[in-house]
Structure 1
Amino acid sequence: MGGALSITLVALAYPSMLGVNTVSSDTNRVIANTQWGPLTEGDRDFVVKVRAAGLWEYPVGQLGLKKGQSQAVLTASKHLIDGHAALDASCRKIAPMLNIAIPNLPSPQQQGFVNTLTADSGKKFDTDFANILRVTHGSIFNTIAKIRSTTRNTLVRILADQANATVLDHITVMEQTGLVDFPSVLFQETTPPKLPATDLTPPPPDGGQPQVVLTPPVNSTTSPPALPGEKGFTGSGAGVGTGAGTGDGTGPTTGVNVTPGASPTAG
């Protein structure tokens, strides 16, 4: 696995698209005042992180359904597809409301994880799958907690609630494979390699291209939470389902689709 077990998600931003020439190191700096509350650099980066995570973990879930050797890996793969399809739907709704540009492709490092697992087979696939995804989900877990506890933006708070439930679910199903090497995983989480920003940042979206949509499975048990003004909104993102199937892991085929004419909003 080597370098594949490194933190996937770090501060990501598209400052030029938001009319900002330089990005302050202070993630608490307010970059916009919205009707849902102030939006900070940390809030914006979090929305981008969630979107970028789905752009590689969803395809890895598809790989898992095809290549997984154990029932536990097949089940975990269904959770990845189901959970990230729902998170993706929330990101694509929230981002234009907050004037945040979201990527259509994962970062080079994230694509490297996909390439590693694409090349794997047999037991090695299952082992790398469980450990890479346990590291990346464990690494982002604390970030979600910080955003949830500090954000003053209602939309970001709702997304953080949903991401918290989803990531905890994914951590759990990875551990249930029985393949997680905890000493190695914890070392990778606390001692990540230093990589150039270009490896860690998804390429900016091309406004001329259709927006990538992660299609939920037809038997999805996870749905995006209601947003302010929508039916069912309760003022919280709680109650998002993360059942994501605990059966035989051989659910219907899903795919990464694009919606013609749709494009990320750039500020």
Structure 2
Amino acid sequence: MGGALTLTLAALAYPSMLGVSNVTTAQDRVIATTQWGPLTELDRDFVVKVRAAGLWEYPVGQIGLKKGTSKAVLTASEHLIDGHAALDTTCRKIAPMLNITLPNVASPQQIGFVNTLNAESGEKFDSDFANILRITHGSIFNTIAKVRSTTKNSLVRALADQANNTVLDHITVMEKTGLVDFDTALFTQTTPPKLPKSDLTPPPPSAGQPEVVLTPPPTATSTPVDISGAVNANPGPTVG
């Protein structure tokens, strides 16, 4: 694959699809005690940025349905829309339960992904679409594993389970396009550029702004996680 694509991916790629660049001691700090278990900074960031991921990948899926030139790219686009609509429903369900404010706009870097792909067409679009999304999804695995293995909050665990399944599905459909440059993907995932936090952080919603809803497609096969079990998993104090 050409050097131009490598430079594009190096400029766009980042440590985690969710924007959590490093797991630090501060992120393990408990910020709220809830009836579903303690909520840490990492837990809160995870919920916020799962939402943010959908705010750029859902529209990229819509772009892919219009611009994709192969059946595999069209299929991958359908999976992006389907999977992130379901994740978004879960995020919007559990966020008010945990007193978490969700963004209505993706991070500046994520918007850059959308703008880059929106400006492309033909084979270049197909190639950059598959590689950018394979890299970002590949990078998220460790973050999801960290959250899933350390969180004591049953709602966050349920979201992590759903996110893991969705990310694995999206990795798989990107690889099935036959366009992924695995050497470039591995290099970019393991040596991401250092970006300012402002580039990785979605802005808070404006006061009075209606909540953006990612609508499931008519043919949706992904479903939001059933949180009924999670709700009863950690009986304890109410939010304090």
Q: Secondary structure at the match of 2:212?
A: strand
Q: Does 1:81 align with 2:89?
A: no
1:127 aligns with: 127
Aligned mates of 2:44, 2:143 — CA distance in 1: 13
Kindly, what percent of the aligned residue pairs are identical?
72
1:6 aligns with: 14
- Do 2:95 and 2:101's aligned partners in 1 also have CA atoms closer than 8 Å? yes
Structure with more of its chain in helix, by fraction = 2
- Do 1:5 and 1:131's aligned partners in 2 also have CA atoms closer than 8 Å? no
Q: Does 1:189 align with 2:189?
A: yes
1:33 aligns with: 33
1:258 aligns with: none
2:94 aligns with: 94
CA shift digits 1:184-242 (9 cap, x unpaired): 11111111111111111111111310000000001111111211379xx896xxxxxxx
Q: Does 1:72 align with 2:72?
A: yes
Q: Which amino acid aligns with 2:42?
A: G
- What TM-score does the superposition give when structure 2 sets the normalisation length? 0.89
Aligned mates of 2:217, 2:193 — CA distance in 1: 35
Instruction: Report the Cα offset of residue 10 of structure 1.
Output: 2.3
Aligned mates of 1:201, 1:225 — CA distance in 2: 25
- What TM-score does the superposition give when structure 1 sets the normalisation length? 0.80
After superposition, the Cα gap between the structure-2 partners of 1:234 and 1:30, relative to the gap in structure 1 and judged at 3 Å, is closer
Q: Secondary structure at the match of 2:45?
A: helix
Q: Secondary structure at the match of 2:169?
A: helix
Aligned mates of 2:228, 2:27 — CA distance in 1: 25
- Do 2:174 and 2:180's aligned partners in 1 also have CA atoms closer than 8 Å? yes
- RMSD, aligned α-carbons: 1.9
Q: Which amino acid aligns with 2:78?
A: K
- Do 1:5 and 1:185's aligned partners in 2 also have CA atoms closer than 8 Å? no
Q: Does 1:209 align with 2:209?
A: yes
Aligned mates of 1:110, 1:218 — CA distance in 2: 26
- Do 1:76 and 1:174's aligned partners in 2 also have CA atoms closer than 8 Å? yes
Q: How many residues align?
A: 223
Determine which structure has greater relative contact order: mean sequence separation of CA pairs < 8 Å that are 6+ residues apart, divided by chain length. Answer: 2
Q: Secondary structure at the match of 2:213?
A: strand
1:225 aligns with: 225
2:118 aligns with: 118
2:147 aligns with: 147
Aligned mates of 1:222, 1:234 — CA distance in 2: 23
Q: Secondary structure at the match of 1:222?
A: coil
Q: Secondary structure at the match of 1:33?
A: strand
- Do 1:88 and 1:214's aligned partners in 2 also have CA atoms closer than 8 Å? yes
Q: Secondary structure at the match of 1:206?
A: coil
Q: Secondary structure at the match of 1:177?
A: coil
Aligned mates of 2:76, 2:137 — CA distance in 1: 13
Q: Which amino acid aligns with 1:57?
A: E
2:237 aligns with: none
Note the residue ranges of structure 1 that are not aligned, 5 or more in a row: 13-23, 236-266
- Do 1:72 and 1:173's aligned partners in 2 also have CA atoms closer than 8 Å? yes
Q: Which amino acid aligns with 1:10?
A: G
Q: Which amino acid aligns with 2:224?
A: P
Instruction: Report the Cα offset of residue 11 of structure 1.
Output: 2.9
